[in-house]
Amino acid sequence: MSKFEHSVIVKITTEKGLVYFKKSDVSEAFVASRIAKEKPDFSPDILGADIERGWLLTRSGGDRLIESGNSNHWFEAVRKLGIFHRQVPFSTFQSGLKTTSFYYNNLSDAFSCFLNNKEWLSYWDIEEVLYEDLVVLCPEVEKACCEILKLNLPDAVCHGDAHPMNVLFSDDSVKWFDWCEATLSNPMTDIGWFLVWLLPKRENLDIDVSKEFLSRVFENYCQGYGVEAKGSLLRHVMFYALAHRVIVYHQRFYQADLGFKSYFVTWFLKLMRRVSNYERQELFV
């Protein structure tokens, strides 16, 4: 049994294989059930659901992607994510997406506003050195937002926490799960976060996270979605995704009455600085 911030997961061994019971919230139960019905090749089988109670019973979809040393599993995962973003109409899910209001067309302005608010920075314990580094990165964030908006992509149903821990692989399939952060947003927030997540984890994976690998991951996503993976877009989607997550999580957790302080915002800001450091090391172009 595993317990997370807002959910409980129980692994059950049956005669027909592993199944997982998850108690989450209404939003995840609704979105996961609808995806399993509309796109069965994209999601593990849902054996049962009680949406009002937030209950899901799911058949095992295999092992987590981080355990795979086969690059084809990784490329297929992001290719299918791109196809999902392009093909699934958000009108099918909009009523069940709890974070719709967190999407910003003017993300660059929202990020600048965040950095200029001393009360917010103090709340998230942003040290002076980190703050100075982020001010230097503001033009990079502004450029990233500008380049993403130029793509003129329609809003899509986004996973919201798209990283390899939320992808399952088996001999004949790759499937996405854990839809508790599902949101209506720009699809580049998903692939950007997937790429960012890989950077600090790269030494602990069975796959070689090289510049070439990162480029191919992004190219496969773009192939699935149907957009050209041109020039420095890979770098831009990472900064865009991180700026988006800073604003989303700030709105969600600033002065939230949880009994503890969630430091996601601080972590995302530190990751932004780390991405910049990796860029200087020429890990990606």
C-alpha span between 173 and 126 (Å, rounded): 42
Concatenating the DSSP letter of every residue in 63-105 gives EEGGG---HHHHHHHHHHHHHHHHHS-GGGTGGG-TTGGG--S
- Where does CATH 3.30.200 sit in the chain? 1-60
249-284 pLDDT per residue, tens: 999 899 998 888 889 999 999 999 999 887 666 655
C-alpha span between 228 and 221 (Å, rounded): 10
- Cα-based distances in Å from 5 to 2, 34, 87, 165, 168: 10, 24, 31, 17, 22
pTM: 0.93
C-alpha span between 136 and 138 (Å, rounded): 6
75-113 pLDDT per residue, tens: 999 999 999 999 987 777 666 665 544 556 789 999 999
Map tokens 């692989």 to a residue: 169
53-62 pLDDT per residue, tens: 999 999 999 9
CATH of 63-280 among 3.40.50.2000, 1.10.3720.10, 3.60.20.40, 3.90.1200.10: 3.90.1200.10
- Where does CATH 3.90.1200.10 sit in the chain? 63-280
Concatenating the DSSP letter of every residue in 139-151 gives HHHHHHHHHHHHT
* DSSP conformational letter for 259: S
